[in-house]
Amino acid sequence: MNSPLVYQVNLTEIQGEGDFPCPGCGVVISPEDETEDVYRIVNTKVNDQDLEELVIQCNKCKSKIRLVGFNGPEMGNL
């Protein structure tokens, strides 16, 4: 059985509202989607109280995507 592919997406490089295509299959992943129809959260990495990394899994192609760059200048102090 093949392991799912793992990609990394840097949020500081995304234009617009934060939507981006899954690197594996192209389905649009939106931070506004809270239904888990398109993706689900697999893991979070927190340093003190700052979100450092979020790992999600695409429900269509099962690829895992590491989201980084939460502390970039566009993100402010979340």
Give per-residue pLDDT as tens, 6-54: 999 999 999 888 899 999 999 999 988 889 999 999 999 998 888 999 9
Higher per-residue pLDDT: 73 or 77: 73
Tell me the C-alpha distance between 22 and 39, whole Å.
10
In the chain the first and final C-alpha atoms are separated, in Å, by: 39
How much is the pLDDT for 34?
A: 87
State if pTM tops 0.75. yes
Q: H/E element holding 68?
A: strand 64-68
How much is the pLDDT for 76?
A: 47
